[in-house]
Amino acid sequence: MAEVPERNEAAADGTVRVEASARLHFGFLDLHGGLGRRFGSIGLAIDEPSLILTARRATHLAVAGQEADRVRGYAEAAASHLGCGTGVAIAVERAIPAHAGFGSGTQLGLAVAAAMARLNGAPFAADAFAATLDRGNRSGVGLCAFTEGGLIVDGGRGPDGGPPPVIARLPYPEDWRIVLIVDPERAGVHGVPEVEAFRDLPRFPEAQAAEICRITLMQVLPSITLAEPQGFGAGITRIQALIGDHFAPHQGGRYASAAVAEVLANVAARGVPGYGQSSWGPTGFVLMPSEADARTLVADLDRGGPLRFIIARGRNHGASVTGPT
């Protein structure tokens, strides 16, 4: 997996600044695992919501801002991996919402590790830190989203237990948009309940895993290469249906949020081809071919309730790490 590109606009005070963005997880390719590799994922880096943190040398570990406990844990793990001390002050200026389907933990952990590597003059590669940070256990999408962005497909976790290899990475069309439907009153399954869900669910049907792989290879990837939104959206929606129904017993239905489910039913009734839920949710998404189409849809759907609607773009580059080298 590629290293984060060097961007050497050094801050005068020796501060490292990391900016990274969220990712959407569209679904798993093969939860059956009969060929020896399990999971396999398809996902997309998006420009919003995003994370910004800064780091500078200090006499001891100090953390300010949101997600302080997680940042502290990631900093200690990264220091152990790098063989350096924990004398760093980290400030989270903007955080990606946690447990909402955006992959916030992976982006936060990698951002902390990248900042500490830069401060210590060490190289940084996301997959090298995966085990230390306990990220990328099931999906390689978040790791690649941090380093490269774009639409990402990984080949699943193999017997060696290493990070899933990225087998396809394609740029997302610049004109396309993603309407995000955020339910701030709900949280997706995470932590121990997530582990229990993967343990307790019945084995995924082999025929459905084969269908998802076929859709990915013969519909989703060609459609994005040729910038055909209808085919791309239809493929993602079918994958979502198969995966969502499998996880329904642990999230209360195909979608984790009843409010988001209602909006997506409205979207389906309009004949929009591409929609679903990212990871365990509760965030829903609608794939739109243009900014104008996305704005029109949001104007029709937004009723001023607790749901938030965000128009995002695909992000075709990785995180930005700036500061002293």
Residue range 263-281, pLDDT digits in tens? 999 999 999 999 999 998 9
**pLDDT tens per residue across span 3-51:** 554 443 334 468 999 999 999 999 999 999 999 999 999 999 999 999 9
Query: Radius of gyration (Cα) for the chain, nearest Å?
Result: 19
**pLDDT tens per residue across span 83-140:** 999 999 999 999 999 999 999 999 999 999 999 999 999 999 998 898 889 887 778 9
For residue 172, the Cα-to-chain-centroid distance in whole angstroms is: 15
User: Alpha helices, DSSP H only, in the chain?
Assistant: 68-82, 104-119, 126-133, 141-147, 192-200, 206-215, 221-225, 229-251, 258-269, 291-301
Residue matched to tokens 């740029």: 171
Question: Strand 39-57 relative to strand 88-94: parallel, antiparallel, unpaired?
Answer: antiparallel
> Is residue 240's pLDDT more than 50?
yes
Q: What is the pLDDT of residue 135?
A: 85
Q: Torsion over CA of 121, 124, 130 and 134, rounded to 10 degrees? A: 40
User: Alpha helices, DSSP H only, in 172-228?
Assistant: 192-200, 206-215, 221-225
> Can you tell me the distance from the alpha carbon of 221 to that of 156, in angstroms, rounded to the nearest whole number?
17
> Is residue 1's pLDDT more than 70?
no
Domains in the chain: ranges and CATH? 16-322 (3.30.230.120)
> Can you tell me the distance from the alpha carbon of 114 to that of 106, in angstroms, rounded to the nearest whole number?
12
Query: 214: how many CB neighbours lie within 10 A of its CB?
Result: 12
> Cis link prior to 49 (omega < 30° from 0)?
yes
Average pLDDT, the chain: 92
Picking from 10, 4, 1, the residue whose alpha carbon sits closest to that of residue 325 is: 10
The angle formed by the CA atoms of residues 7, 112 and 324, to the nearest 5 degrees, is 35
Strand-pair partners of 322: 17
Q: What is the pLDDT of residue 8?
A: 36
**pLDDT tens per residue across span 183-216:** 998 876 666 677 776 777 889 999 999 999 999 9
Q: What is the pLDDT of residue 303?
A: 86
Q: Torsion over CA of 150, 151, 155 and 158, rounded to 10 degrees? A: 50
Look up residue 232 and give its two tokens.
């791309």
For residue 92, give the 3-state DSSP assignment. strand
CA-to-CA dists, residue 133 to 81, 105, 168, 209, angstroms: 9, 9, 24, 29
**pLDDT tens per residue across span 287-307:** 999 999 999 999 999 988 899
Look up residue 188 and give its two tokens.
């997706």
Which amino acid is located at 224 in the chain? I
Phi and psi (nearest 5°) for 138?
-115, -30
Q: Do residues 285 and 24 lie in contact, with contact meaning Cβ atoms separated by under 8 Å?
A: yes
Torsion-angle region of 323 (φ positive above 0: left; ψ -120 to 50: alpha; else: beta): left
Percent of the chain scoring above 70 in pLDDT:
93
